[in-house]
Amino acid sequence: MWELRCRFWFIDLAGHAGAALDGEKIGQMPQLWGDDVGDSGTGGQPLRRLERAKSGTMYDGGNMNKNDQAVLRGLAARWMELASLAVMAQRRRLWVALNGLHPERPMVLFETDFLENYIAESELQCTDPYLRDVERRMRWHLRHAEEVGDDVVVEPFFRLYWEVDWPDYGVPLLISHAVDVQGGQVAYVYEHPIKIPADVDRLTPRTWHVNRESTKRHYQQLCDAFGDILPVVLHGTGALHSGLTQDLFKLIGNDNLMAWVYDAPEALHRLMAYLRDDRITYYTWMEHEGLLGLNSTGWELVGSGSPGYTTELPHPDGEGRGRVRLRDLWVWMESQETTMISPRVFGEIFLPYMAEVCRLFGLVYYGCCEPVHDRWDLIRQAIPNVRGVSVSPWCNQYEIGQKLGRAYVYSRKPKAAPISGPAPDWDVLRADMEETLAAARDCNLEFIYRDVYRIGDRERLRTWTQMVRAHIGGE
């Protein structure tokens, strides 16, 4: 796995796995600059600092706002303090054990990524827009690690990802957000461009572009800001989300998704084949361009909030020779949009196309908010390399617990409503936790609390974590 490092240390950006600092997609550094490129993911040595390009296109650290630099350097120093704690190595080892199906205890994580104002705009001090975004993400991860008390890991490196431009499908996917009485914009609606089966002909194959120069400028900018304190790593892929039916919904809408199962199944097959080919083309392009990075090392959320730490990847065949391949990675597959479709029809029209994408990868995390207990046997047979399974609040916990056993990771998503809003309902939260512990008593269990958007206070996150730890053990 090719990575580019700044100085002799490196620091992880762990706010939202798979998202570039400026909201664009991610990739990984091929060997472009000779000896300045190495393989940290497979034991490479620290690298010397990248020399600025003679053309002058690299960021000039001398022009950086001194206040911005001071702010980031202070955050970087605190990050390294946390990353150096012995508990971080312990948590990393425990995640590896869980994903290896030999857990020492259940793992606990509260996803803060979507909490409103977890870091308020008024807290930010950087003036440069890009550095301000870096500051936000650093403060976000630091606050999580300092306050929540869960099994989050702060790694001693800061990962930067390739910036990839994503085109549309030949038709626009327009989205409109609703603003609630508190100014939030969580609710949204799509303007679905595929209205009738004949509109499928409007779709065109996509091509992608990686902006290497912009990524290199950002890399140098961060090296200049705090690279002597914390190494900056130009890594590669983090999370790889391959939700085919999510984009199917965006294209045709829920009414057509339900009705075309009866009225136009051939159109659904065409759409699923198109989306399958689109994903396979994208992933293989990334592999060819050298834009992949291991998502089994570092703090990378490879499923719906689940870290990907494992020693089973990269694939042990030795054929990669330092270059990351798709088979060396996790992929996340889910199909929330087909919940109301019967398991039989799901297995006929949707699952086969999803499974073809999953075959490219080493391990698969399956599911998000959809219940999977009624179709798990179909999924297991179609996707034999699945390892983690999302057990949502709509899933029958006992039934799926019996089916998963010790062969998979039981990735429980507690109910979001009882901890949201002005005041938590601790009786409901405790009952939900106890039901999970009973249903998953013979499983490889992780609690991943997510889809929480608005809370009255941050202290409840630690209180919930402590409640769970009181039952499962751990620091």
Collapsing DSSP to helix, strand or coil, 363 comes out as strand
The model's pLDDT over 15-71, given as tens digits with 9 standing for 90+, comes to: 223 333 222 222 222 222 222 222 233 222 222 222 222 223 333 445 789 999 999
The mean pLDDT value for 331-360 works out to 98
* Residue 475: predicted pLDDT: 67
Q: Which two tokens stand for residue 438?
A: 């009973």
Q: How far is CA 275 from each of CA 24, 169, 247, 281, rounded to the nearest angstrom? A: 20, 10, 8, 10
* Contact assessment for residue 234 and residue 298, using Cβ atoms and an 8 Å cutoff: no
Backbone φ and ψ of 440, nearest 5° = -105, 25
| Whether the predicted pLDDT of 91 surpasses 80 | yes
> What stretches of 215-259 adopt beta strand conformation (E)?
232-234
pLDDT of the residue at 44: 27
Confidence (pLDDT) at 10: 25
Pairing of the two strands 174-177 and 188-191: antiparallel
Mean pLDDT value across residues 181-203: 93
Beta strands in 223-316 (DSSP E): 232-234
Q: 426-439 and 459-472 are packed helices; what angle lies between their axes, rounded to 10 degrees?
A: 40
Q: What is the pTM of this model?
A: 0.87
Give the Cα separation of 241 and 408 in Å (integer).
Answer: 19
Dist. CA 161–CA 233, nearest whole Å: 8
Q: Cβ of 16: how many Cβ atoms within 10 Å? A: 18
Looking at every residue in the chain, the average pLDDT score rounds to 87
